[in-house]
Amino acid sequence: SLEGPLLPRLAQTGKIVASMLKAKLGCDGVNLVQNNGAAAGQTVMHYHLHVIPRYENDGQHILWKPTSPSAEELVAIKNTIIG
């Protein structure tokens, strides 16, 4: 569990590392990935942030397939989460 000022500092550190990778490695982009729970692919059960340099046509894929829920489905999900 991350509490207090730690989480914003970790996000800030991820941004700094991402900028360094782009500047020093010349990558085209960066993925910041944090898996939370085994169902999400977390294999080491503590907080850690993957900072992954990416290059055009590198053949890598983040294992997530976006869906296209209807407006009604989005409202139902919103209502489930926040009431």
Q: Write the DSSP assignment of the chain as a string of letters.
A: ---TTHHHHHHHHHHHHHHHHHHHH--SEEEEE---SGGGT--SSS---EEEEE-TT-----S-------HHHHHHHHHHHH-
| pLDDT tier, 23 (very low <50, low <70, confident <90, very high otherwise) | very high
Share of the chain above pLDDT 90, in %: 59
Dihedral (C-alpha) 21, 24, 29, 30: value to the nearest 10 degrees? -10
Q: Does position 26 have pLDDT exceeding 90, yes or no? A: yes
| pLDDT tier, 62 (very low <50, low <70, confident <90, very high otherwise) | confident
Contacts of 43 (CB under 8 A, 6+ apart): 35
pTM for the model stands at 0.73
| pLDDT tier, 13 (very low <50, low <70, confident <90, very high otherwise) | very high
